[in-house]
Structure 1
Amino acid sequence: MRRWQWAIVGALTLGAAGSYYSPQQVSSLLTSVEAEEEDEEDEDRRDRPDLAMLQEFNRTRDPATGTVPRERLIAARARAEALLSQQAAQRAVAGSLASASWTEKGPSNVGGRVRAILIDPADATGNTVWVGSVGGGLWKSTNATSATPTWVSVDGFMANLAITSLVYDPTNPDIMYLGTGEGYYNADAIRGLGIWKSTDHGVTWTQLASTSPSTSQDFYRVQRLAVQPSTGYVFAATRTGLFRSKDKGATWTAVLQPSGIRMADVKISANGTIFVGAGIFQTGGIYRSTDNGDTWTNLNTLAGSGLPTTGYSRIELACAPSDASRVYAIVTTTADVLMNIYMSKDGGTTWGTIRKPGGNSFDFTSGQGWYALAIGVSPTSPNTLYVGGLDLWITTNADTPQSGNPNSGATWTQTSIWYNPKTNSDYVHADHHAVAWVPTSSGTATKAFFASDGGIAYSANANSTTPTYGQRNTGLNITQFYALALHPSDVDYFLAGAQDNGTQRYTKTGGQVTTEATGGDGAFCFIDQNEPQFQFTAYVYAQYRRSTNSGAAFTNLNLSSSAGQFINPTDYDSRSNTLYGGWTVDRFFRLPNATTAAASAVSNVLLATGAGMVTHVTVSPNNQDRLFVGTEPDFSATTPGPGHLYRVDNAASTTPTVTLLYTAPAGLSISSVAVETGNDAHLLMTISNYSATEAKVLETKEGTNTGSATVAAATWTKRQGDLPDMPVRWAVFDPTNNKRAMLATELGVWSTDDLTAASPVWKPSSTGLANVRVDMLRIRASDQQVVAATHGRGLFTSDILKDQPLPVELTSFTGQMTSQGVALRWKTASEKNSLRFEVERAAKDQSFQLLTKVAAAGTTSVAHTYAHTDATVGTGLYYYRLRQVDQDGKTSYSPVVTVDIKPSSAPLLTGLYPNPFEQNFTLELREPMRGDILTTLTDMQGRLVFSATTQSPSRVLPVTVPATVKPGNYVLTVRAQGQQATRRVIHR
């Protein structure tokens, strides 16, 4: 196989406001270098998190600050939760896009990147475990050692947190902390949201205000947390130093801040000695404190310590729980390969090296020591430890003398092989981040969990040199999808491209259990909508895979291994079988007859000089060979320019025509464009950057204007409305109502029912869907199902559009209590194929029931007014809605009208005689009534048998019952002036 090595190059500029990177610095930060040759199949199984990070940084950073201000999601989350609570309290309008409910589709058998594991100290079996993922939030299992554990998401918003560390307070195990923000990258790409705390044993979590990014920039990226076992002091290793809290996180003090050195790790030995690994893409060292962090010693500079003094970078530490004097350190070089594994037997004063796993010339980190590095010591044996990089290695004799050498001659065994079949007992996903042994009060520790880019693995005989591993990802739905494809008719068949987990294939027989269609990083994917036996997946850049047998097998279709984006924006035209995607700066590619063509048939087209790199490609649903192409600024330039949106006509011909439609403000990237079905002029465009001043959503109805490639031909209207400041990644129109739209955002799905409003109202459409980053929305034409590809929680589906009607423009719907009951009135400005309105009512906490049907006007552009009076209500809160039915049987719902009928403070009815009565009786009212008085009789089955509306100038009202009313027991109801009274009467 081939292993990749890459170096992070470029300079880091530190300013008063924290880490800042100019565009040219960020662009040059990440340069990949091939270490050795391997076959293409093995290449597909390796991911490039550094390049995915760079692409994400460019797409989302705020041009005004040069950073990615993820702390703004806190405000967005608060607004989303308030709106969802409001919708629930007001019985969210059925049919409104905000009422969308989502069903989780998994995959239930594919993990995602996990960096933190916490085993419940109160569960000696090791079954209760929390894991922190980078894109899927915090999860808990109470049967984690089971072959098919049950995982539960602890908090939906935490899917937006890059969780890097989980610890508990030994002085009070109900107190737990988690740290956020991956800081191993040498760019400010993924900020965290500080430190979060639980005081109820992990049930609920709250952000520590003292670590909020709005309060302190020191906690943007928390690498590691540790709690002093005797004092409960909390230590946080962050990009700006080591911080200590003596008051359970209320306040923090910097206790170790070597000049400009970033902290990578902090560990505490059994006797309370604190060790810190300092240096991320820089030379820092191992620091030690024996007085709770008051004073520190740099052990690398300590005379005779045996530690290196130059040429090293990231350091990962481990303290042996069973021996307070035993400490281990994995040290990488500035080239991110393994330098040495060091061991101290005297509490860190002197160190020796341990023989390297695989021999002195072998690098078990595979050149990515900056990213994937793990170490864990057995809680019962100081000589048994795991190290993890690309794979896992174990030694059980770490302290083995080496003849003629003061250093250890430990023997190592490779225990996992990432490229083996997943059914093998030695298979564990590549790229390891954490090892967590299950503590034991007696005997030898044998159980351990392992966190990697593929989720969680477990071994019940972890102390063996031939351990058996099992994946523990069942239901741990933290897959990070970039894109998805829908089968035109098979509602159970999907393709979805995932970071580091290939392109997953959903089928009816598999349900939420998927199979890997193609490996490596998965990206854009397509199923031909006319001939679904033709399917396409993507690896990185312009490297694609093609299936001609409905996804049973794929072959390579590599157009270029360097052109395009890392996750390359692509679209496919099922009418012409043409594949389009990003190429080099200012260009896009096209591959005609992609179902059969060779890769050599690809050609590329110039958009315009200065267009930038392609970020989005959409094939027009209305016109074959018409494209809409979005771009981002050229970030290699000293001063990045704007992104653009272009229309390309005759895109598959030898003479395509390029028209500029929009030039974005400097630094902004076009993330998507939605095209109205039947109308290429109507476009909805989205921006993926944070920005406090620029709109994320824009609309035009001039998408077909003629123009040139250099002068924008369309005018745009901002449709940001009240949408929070967060990246917007995808947009879709409601196919039956172009006033309505749904957005894939950094915080779930948001929608509006009226784009035409001067300031559109956006609401979260997230019932059942975590507040997670959503990268793509697709709508299946055959049944209108909406599918969301989330970057951290897999796929979700919604049927919100399945029952949408042909348009009826409802201008008003009101309800008012009168003496005759609740008077409902509604008006329409226009109707199309409208058959009837069904009036439905629900009492508080009850479901809606049909009251009556009112014939509609059919198709008309003339305003119509409708009315119905509900004479069967009592006191209390009532909800009314209209179910509009069109002539094709499709339906939709109106907004809900609420009517609160309050009981009278004085009785409406003060007398009734005679009772029993034969044909006549008399009512005595508390006072003369103004307006109508409604008197009804209903039988014991609730059927109305008599109704009379009268007026009375006095308190006395005689009532005559028709002879047709049969003798029996009845309920008498009297309504007047918005009040009512009931009595049970007997008719003889």
Structure 2
Amino acid sequence: MKKVFFLLAVLILSSIVFAVSKWQNSHFSKTEKFPAPSETIVLNKGDKEEKEWKEQLEREEWINRLHKTAPDADWRSIDQQTRYMNLLRKSSNTRSNIDTLANGFLTGFWKERGSVNQSGRIVFADYDTSSNAIYAASDGGTIFKGSLNGSNWTPITDHFNISGIDYLAVLNQTSSPRIFVAAGKYCYFSDDDGTTWTTSTGINAVTSWGDIRKAAVLNQDNENIYLLIQEWDYTNWEEIISIYYSQNRGTSFSKLVSYSTNQMGSINQHDFWADRYQGNTLYYIQQDRVFKVQGNVTQQIGSIGALTNDRSMITGTNVGGNLTLYAYIDQDIYQSINGAASWIQKANVARNPFRQNSFAASYSNANAVFFGGVNCARSLNGFSSWEEVNQWYDYYGSISDKLHADIPAVIPFFDENGVAKIFICTDGGLYISDDNLQTVENLSLHGLNCSQYYDVYTYRAQPQYIYAGAQDQGFQRASQDTADILGFEQTVSGDYAHIVSSDSGASMWFVYPGFAAYNDDATTGNWDVSGDFDGRGNYWLPPLCEHPTIKSKVYMAGDDPNGGTGAFIYELTANLSGNNVSYNQLPADVQALTGGQISAFTYSPLDTDYWYALMDNGTMVYSTDNMSNWNVGGLNNGPEAHYFHGASIYASKAKFGRVIAAGSGYSNPGVWVSEDHGVTWEQMNSGLPQTLTFMIDATPDDSLIFAATEVGPYVFVAKDSMWYSMSSDAAPDQRYWSVEWINASKTVRFGTYGRGIWDFSFAQESDTTDTTSVNNLSGLNEQFHVYPNPAKDQLTVQSEQAKLRKVDIYDINGRVVTQIYPTENTTTINLSHLVKGTYFVHLHTQTEHSIQKIIKL
């Protein structure tokens, strides 16, 4: 969800004077103040419903620009095929604790870091009466299983990310329940609780062009499944809307009917609804015409008389054997109580739906109807009138019983006792109601770990501070780096990215769709000053680069603020005394050289006069005089990079002149390397699949280069000149959006767009054998000692700086064989019960950890 540019309120503890500065006076509402946990700032969305569609389009444009492809390539389909091939290579979704990756070059430990309390978007959910379990599908593509009281959440598809889920149903079978999912261009089903997945057949045409727009299960006893699909007629060369149906619980589908959009309206004017629990009829709306579908027979049964070029939707309920239908046409709600023969116009709901599943009626009260946009509207009188369940900003003062903003789905269901209840999916997790949304309960307060992070940054001097920019769950901060999955504090609502710092995290800059903000002490508060883009930002979240030495300055890439052509770098300065951010446009127009916009840029840490920038059209420029002048590099001097869109650029800390460019790699190589500041380039994609690389980082000597990609984490081993997947059973199959190398702990930290933050910490080799580049990383966890090695009956472990709080010993298969909880810096462990072989010792202090390999004699 995208917020607009004004701060609405801050509630400070009553004992503190609420001092409002000049900037705050212009950005805070003086009439509305809301309680906000952890001093969360709540951004004022203004006319949010009106602006929501514009902002969604801006975000989609930004995402599509990053995923640049040839015209005939579909990046979503390419990525999903890669994920499915990876699934086939995996033996199971069980996890071991120690991983040996990259053809034996890496040995270490994957660990989930959080958040445990800031759930991201849930797009759909269903309830299985046989196991009394909820199945919830996240926007990040992971399905979770949990209890009806919001406890015991467990991801069941960490081994297989299902991108673009719009629908999920748990179908009762004789043996075990079947989980059915409709997602993007594909349908999948699993008969073993998510361990293995099979692709439904019969809808192959949509994989070339189109999308599954809606799915519905008709009558749980028969469990016929219908799909509403947007596809292409290659004979008549036009877009068509088709209905497919399955009579075998989604194993295969057959086309029922197709309509030309030239004659029957766009996909947004088509919708259907079916009663999940009874009956044999699917109700289908085309613009204002209503049809019933029984089996493979379609028949028009009514017309609403409100022809529109906007959006049409339909829902209904069957209470006591009496069918009630509701239709949405261009924000007006209509009702029929005679099987669609006639319709009565009710109220105007004053919003567009957030998604296709945002419109629903209760199974217990035919007059209870719900409509989700940014807020969720509730009517208990058949939409003669309606009210908000709550305002979006109420969430920040009462997270447990107020809906988060943005409502992808409202889902009525019956529990195991036949009691009608309702799931409400939001951008902040999953809710439930048993009284038709008169009250709601948040089921995602703990353990529904589907945080969606654009960027993650760790304070190097105090690594317990971890900062994260989230999708619609604000700017977040963790301040206690314990051994557990971390809880994060949301300091301000909204969408945040491009976290940069000139002093390694003591202070911080970041962007929001509309402004850049600076926090002088990043360990506390929200920010000190901010400044609106005022037309300068070419991207929804424009790229930033820290100033090499001055913490109060940052550089931002943008375009001409007056609406003209151009691609410029802006120097932003945080003026704490004046309480504002000033923008200084550097004179060089990079677009005049390349014809493109700057999509990523950085400087050489070995000589800060040297700067490098990637463009959105596959070109690259470099500067040798601190951005006073730019030169065109040789990146796009042939067809190999024609569809390359730069997303990340890395300047080596080890070799002056080495630059690595990463970005869209669907129709061309996705990673390139230059050894001469960008004058010439070579492909660097051996072992990397066709995908988008969001970000890269490296060890100080460039022996290992890490990539966060659409299809998982990757590492380039310089010794082998090859990319290797870092995916394993211990790490989730996800979009890995950010990556950073933390040298002090020899950990690579990834931020994912659906499963939060994940660390891979390297195991230390205690012998001197030069087997891999990993073993020779200098200063590897020097504060920890394990001796003797090899060991026979006893092993001593020691931490020089802090007391040990936990020690785990794993065998070569990742099983815990010994676990102790010391209270001192040094302790001795009995090994006499262990058989001879190789083991891994994982040592924890309050803030640090280390993994070291030992030999048991």
TM-score range, shorter chain: 0.7 to 0.9
Contact 1:671/1:686 (<8 A) preserved: yes
| Post-superposition offset of 1:482 | 1.0
| Post-superposition offset of 1:444 | 6.6
- SS of 2:392's equivalent in the other structure is coil
- SS of 1:504's equivalent in the other structure is strand
Contact 1:138/1:154 (<8 A) preserved: yes
Partner residue of 2:471?
499
Contact 1:719/1:755 (<8 A) preserved: no
| Post-superposition offset of 1:575 | 1.5
Counterpart of 2:188 (choices 190, 193, 196) is: 196
Counterpart of 1:151 (choices 150, 153, 174) is: 153
Question: Aligned letter for 2:661?
Answer: M
Contact 1:175/1:197 (<8 A) preserved: no
1:588 matches 2:569: yes
Partner residue of 1:665?
641
Partner residue of 1:719?
684
CA distance in 2, matches of 1:118, 1:429: 19
Counterpart of 1:57 (choices 44, 57, 64) is: 64
| Post-superposition offset of 1:155 | 0.7
Partner residue of 2:442?
470
Partner residue of 1:743?
707
1:543 matches 2:508: no
Contact 2:456/2:469 (<8 A) preserved: yes
CA distance in 2, matches of 1:623, 1:213: 54
- SS of 2:490's equivalent in the other structure is strand
CA distance in 2, matches of 1:274, 1:353: 22
Equivalent residues in 2 for 1:254-653 (5 A)? Answer: 254-260=255-261, 261-262=266-267, 265-269=271-275, 270-278=278-286, 284-297=287-300, 302=302, 305-331=303-329, 333=330, 338=331, 340-357=332-349, 363=350, 365=351, 368-369=352-353, 371=355, 374-398=358-382, 410-424=384-398, 427-439=402-414, 445=420, 447-462=421-436, 464=438, 467-470=439-442, 472-508=444-480, 512-529=486-503, 532-548=505-521, 550-564=523-537, 565-573=539-547, 575-577=549-551, 578-584=553-559, 585-592=566-573, 598-604=580-586, 605-609=588-592, 610-633=594-617, 643-651=618-626
Contact 1:376/1:436 (<8 A) preserved: yes
Deviation string for 1:168-212 (max 9, x for gaps)?
A: 44676944454444xxxxxxxxxx250111224x44352324167
Partner residue of 1:105?
113
* Structure with bigger gyration radius: 1
| Post-superposition offset of 1:463 | 5.7
- SS of 1:552's equivalent in the other structure is coil
Instruction: Give the TM-score, by structure 2 length.
Output: 0.76
CA distance in 2, matches of 1:843, 1:427: 47
Counterpart of 1:236 (choices 227, 236, 242) is: 227
Shift of the 499–770 alpha-carbon distance from structure 1 to 2, 3 Å rule, reads same
Shift of the 83–469 alpha-carbon distance from structure 1 to 2, 3 Å rule, reads closer
Partner residue of 2:760?
798
Deviation string for 1:340-379 (max 9, x for gaps)?
A: 111111122211122345xxxxx1x2xx436476233222
| Post-superposition offset of 1:130 | 1.0
| Post-superposition offset of 1:516 | 1.9
Contact 2:556/2:569 (<8 A) preserved: yes
Question: Aligned letter for 1:487?
Answer: Y
Partner residue of 2:250?
249
Deviation string for 1:548-597 (max 9, x for gaps)?
A: 46331314422414322102111213523331122014322222567778
- SS of 1:210's equivalent in the other structure is coil
Shift of the 322–591 alpha-carbon distance from structure 1 to 2, 3 Å rule, reads same
Gaps of 5+ in 1: 6-35, 182-191, 279-283, 358-362, 399-407, 634-642, 704-712, 813-825, 850-875, 882-889, 898-940, 943-988
Partner residue of 1:762?
724
Contact 2:673/2:683 (<8 A) preserved: yes
CA distance in 2, matches of 1:81, 1:592: 51
Shift of the 463–582 alpha-carbon distance from structure 1 to 2, 3 Å rule, reads closer
Instruction: Between 724-733 and 539-548, report the one with greater CA deviation.
Output: 539-548
Deviation string for 1:887-944 (max 9, x for gaps)?
A: xxx99999x99xxxxxxxxxxxxxxxxxxxxxxxxxxxxxxxxxxxxxxxxxxx99xx
Question: Aligned letter for 1:42?
Answer: N
CA distance in 2, matches of 1:290, 1:131: 29
CA distance in 2, matches of 1:568, 1:287: 45
Deviation string for 1:649-704 (max 9, x for gaps)?
A: 3437xx3454525226222201212222132312222122422xx2222222222x
Contact 1:314/1:370 (<8 A) preserved: no
Contact 1:179/1:195 (<8 A) preserved: yes
Contact 2:122/2:425 (<8 A) preserved: yes
Instruction: Give the TM-score, by structure 1 length.
Output: 0.66
Shift of the 180–645 alpha-carbon distance from structure 1 to 2, 3 Å rule, reads farther
Deviation string for 1:828-876 (max 9, x for gaps)?
A: 9xxx9x9x99779999869999xxxxxxxxxxxxxxxxxxxxxxxxxx9
1:678 matches 2:654: yes
| Post-superposition offset of 1:611 | 4.3
Shift of the 477–251 alpha-carbon distance from structure 1 to 2, 3 Å rule, reads same
| Post-superposition offset of 1:471 | 5.0
Shift of the 37–55 alpha-carbon distance from structure 1 to 2, 3 Å rule, reads farther
Contact 2:425/2:431 (<8 A) preserved: yes
CA distance in 2, matches of 1:665, 1:69: 20
| Post-superposition offset of 1:161 | 1.4
Contact 1:113/1:133 (<8 A) preserved: yes
Shift of the 519–229 alpha-carbon distance from structure 1 to 2, 3 Å rule, reads closer
Contact 1:545/1:558 (<8 A) preserved: no
Contact 2:185/2:206 (<8 A) preserved: no
| Post-superposition offset of 1:622 | 2.4
Partner residue of 2:795?
none
Contact 1:275/1:286 (<8 A) preserved: no
| Post-superposition offset of 1:230 | 5.0
Contact 1:341/1:353 (<8 A) preserved: yes
Contact 1:101/1:765 (<8 A) preserved: no
Instruction: Between 389-398 and 491-500, report the one with greater CA deviation.
Output: 389-398
Partner residue of 1:729?
694
RCO comparison, higher one (Cα < 8 Å, 6+): 2
Deviation string for 1:54-106 (max 9, x for gaps)?
A: 11112214215153242443345434763788998997269956434321122
Shift of the 806–225 alpha-carbon distance from structure 1 to 2, 3 Å rule, reads farther
Contact 2:714/2:726 (<8 A) preserved: yes
Contact 2:3/2:43 (<8 A) preserved: no
Contact 1:576/1:593 (<8 A) preserved: no
Contact 2:212/2:230 (<8 A) preserved: yes
Contact 2:219/2:279 (<8 A) preserved: no
CA distance in 2, matches of 1:698, 1:168: 45
Contact 1:267/1:319 (<8 A) preserved: no
- SS of 1:54's equivalent in the other structure is helix
CA distance in 1, matches of 2:851, 2:103: 5
Shift of the 529–596 alpha-carbon distance from structure 1 to 2, 3 Å rule, reads farther
Contact 1:274/1:293 (<8 A) preserved: no
Q: Alignment identity in percent?
A: 15
